[in-house]
Structure 1
């Protein structure tokens, strides 16, 4: 089983009904950093989607009948297998996603935690009793609720956290007793296929997890057309998310669609103590994180000091090969993304922004870039950069900072640093976001906290417990007593 993870096995098939499924067409998968050929990966067709759906439908009755302790045991076993194979899976992640190896190890560790949380949640899917006699006509009746699995869940995942974001789909789905048809990102299929093998080894019934690789554009309509699909959970762009929601009809949908996350820095904060954390939030994984720190609003009293320290810390970052231990920033996922961010930075400079640091492309990487004098209408501010580019903007008072922060189509995570608890909670109530992180960067996330946004940042919530709720249906049962 371990041998299948090695990059010497260059042909990867579909995973359907607990077996490898060969296809007629395969595409070449190249490493983002050096364009080395990693694998040839199967391209699914509509007929494969139909086969996967049939298998998932059959397995749904098995998963629905499976006791909670067995579902929990499978999830816990996957967590243990991940721990055992941490280093090889981290290297796999670093290679196919271009993620620095230290960050890849951290992702595997988080993925272990996510599946552990899912195992725990499988055993505490509670209902409640309803006081029926609280209403006239309810005397001599009992009322209760419980949660039931939905059935087939379609999960569509992005490249940037190929293990942990998959875990946030699979873990809650299996904890609740569902089956999953998974479509991973084109650039990171190997991690999804590796996880499929781990679930197979852990005892997941055949058909409960199907992995279809290939073009999302070619498969998305087929995935959504099947009426047996009861929920779609998607992480990706707002454009695709809106299209999915329009096609989903009455089925449940969870959409995590990105952001241009902001941080407010109040003048009462100890600036030197937060610089390293802010740099980490802006440039981790080359900024290719939905809650990457993109906009920093700094009070005019501490603006100059903040900028100087931030740029000094940024200059210490090392750009290079993701498999080298000292690398902080590596390749962007695709050449098209490099061209896009280069155009946006050049456009911002032409419109009056100033480069405080960086701003250069080097092969497959983009230098960590600090922009000053940025205005809200520039693409680097009002859109999602998804790149190692951050803007630092001066403000006069907290209300102005809140207004600047809210002047966005997005609202995922927002951070504020302040030592004044009243101002912290004033901001928390006024900021338009799914989460407000006080005295830390908006990039902060733990895998059991509710996670999701407002506005164009999405719909619904992840975080294992909350995802389980969204992957179940609430049923009410009433009994009339003969007393």
Structure 2
């Protein structure tokens, strides 16, 4: 069987080899999942809850080793991977609680003439087998959202971890087995895009949950046909800085929410910055001052703010995007150079709002800044993007903030903070090419069920 060699993206050091499945092996995995699904569906809600709590406890007991493994294979600084593993623990515990809150409804049939004596109730049932396609940037956290939700609702799940950094997810999968999941209720398959498409097209898969690029989402949706498809795709989040904003805090939001968060490889990172002309220069000065203090280097060292991107090719694409912005008329003030898989955090100004490179999602530590004169203009430019994940607005005027938030065509708006905010109990997702889905503890577990209506004739005498 062929293997994927997993490497530290910063050093190239091999971290392990993982057997690679091919598309022809997917059928047997999905067939086995049917047995696992029946076993999960037969578990009472309190047993599903207990299973997920045991998983959370086991992950928590290994959180430091998991964080180090994730940092080594993924490139995010160790301080951030610790937070990701802690989030996964909370997510498993959150879905454990949701397993016991899959409520049905009693629907009054006396609303219809002639049906007054009958009773109607609904019940929540599992969908079947869920395919969970996990991205490389936050693999453990996003895996938890998909796998824990599927199991909480009584489904089986087939997880495809990211091929470039599967090790931490595969270790958590072992902990799920150790916690006592029924055989074949939780399986993993490591492979390329052909495997993803085979999963999506499999007759034995009832639903597909993907976090990834918009191009991948389109391909998966096409392969899935009439199955349920849950897509959380690309983003090009805008941050709008009004002339009454605290520019130091606004600059910090860009640094912490873009340049020094996930090495800039986050769908909900700040990727476009629009600053009102009167405070533009002060904002840029603050942003450059903060950006130049960031430490780029070994992701396993505590002081590191920015580690390597997932591959050298990814870093090269970011450098090319910076060069495209400069070609379109932007001025590069700092950073933007790739060295191996590392990219120095970049700040660009005078970015033309109509630059094609500005409209695309740049997946790395790059902060392009454009000016605006009126907030209506900033809203128009923000909405011109094909993506609609999140946006942010900095202003001291609450009415202005809420008015702008209402007009932004996005899934979430953060006032006086970074768009790189995701709390597991909030619905997370966006509009337009971002996919339209909302993922979160209270939403996903319901999405992974179907409603059945039961009518009892002549229930009332």
- The answer, yes or no, to whether TM exceeds 0.5 is yes
2:199 to 212, 223, 231: 223
CA distance, structure 1, for counterparts of residue 27 and residue 266 of structure 2: 33
SS at match of 1:414: strand
Partner of 1:470: 447
Partner of 1:418: 395
Shift of 1:379: 4.0
CA distance, structure 2, for counterparts of residue 267 and residue 370 of structure 1: 20
Does residue 43 of structure 2 align to residue 50 of structure 1? no
Does residue 231 of structure 2 align to residue 260 of structure 1? no
Name whichever of 223-232 and 446-455 sits farther off: 223-232
Q: Deviations over 1:273-307 (max 9, x none)?
A: 34323210111121001101111111112111111
Does residue 122 of structure 2 align to residue 170 of structure 1? no
Partner of 1:64: 41
Q: Deviations over 1:118-162 (max 9, x none)?
A: 111111111111121112222112121121100100111110011
Q: Deviations over 1:92-130 (max 9, x none)?
A: 000110110001111111111111111111111111111
Partner of 1:244: 220
Partner of 1:79: 56
Shift of 1:57: 0.4
CA distance, structure 2, for counterparts of residue 135 and residue 323 of structure 1: 65
CA distance, structure 2, for counterparts of residue 46 and residue 409 of structure 1: 32
Partner of 2:256: 280
Partner of 1:434: 411
SS at match of 1:35: coil
Name whichever of 25-34 and 148-157 sits farther off: 25-34
Q: Deviations over 1:227-251 (max 9, x none)?
A: 1211000111111101111121211
CA distance, structure 1, for counterparts of residue 390 and residue 357 of structure 2: 17
1:97 to 74, 77, 80: 74
2:209 to 233, 237, 240: 233
2:329 to 348, 352, 355: 352
**Considering only aligned residues, what root-mean-square deviation do their CA atoms show, in Å?**
1.3
Number of equivalences: 459
Partner of 1:113: 90
Shift of 1:47: 4.0
CA distance, structure 2, for counterparts of residue 409 and residue 273 of structure 1: 28
Partner of 1:405: 382
SS at match of 1:319: coil
Shift of 1:265: 1.3
CA distance, structure 2, for counterparts of residue 49 and residue 247 of structure 1: 15
CA distance, structure 1, for counterparts of residue 187 and residue 195 of structure 2: 14
Partner of 1:393: 370
Q: Deviations over 1:54-77 (max 9, x none)?
A: 211011111111011111111111
Q: Structure 2 regions of 5+ residues with no counterpart? A: none
Output aligned runs, 1:6-25, within 5 Å: 24-25=1-2
Shift of 1:419: 2.1
CA distance, structure 2, for counterparts of residue 445 and residue 154 of structure 1: 23
Partner of 2:344: 367
Does residue 124 of structure 2 align to residue 147 of structure 1? yes
SS at match of 1:114: helix
Does residue 183 of structure 2 align to residue 201 of structure 1? no
Partner of 1:14: none
Does residue 247 of structure 2 align to residue 308 of structure 1? no
CA distance, structure 1, for counterparts of residue 336 and residue 62 of structure 2: 38
When residues 395 and 190 of structure 1 are mapped into structure 2, their CA distance, relative to the original with a 3 A threshold, is same
Q: Which runs of 4+ in 1 moved over 4 A?
A: none
Partner of 1:16: none
SS at match of 2:307: coil
Kept in 1: contact 2:133–2:196 (CA 8 A): no
Partner of 2:308: 331
Shift of 1:311: 0.7
Kept in 1: contact 2:241–2:250 (CA 8 A): no
CA distance, structure 2, for counterparts of residue 247 and residue 300 of structure 1: 47
Partner of 2:296: 319
Q: Structure 1 regions of 5+ residues with no counterpart? A: 1-23
Kept in 2: contact 1:331–1:364 (CA 8 A): yes
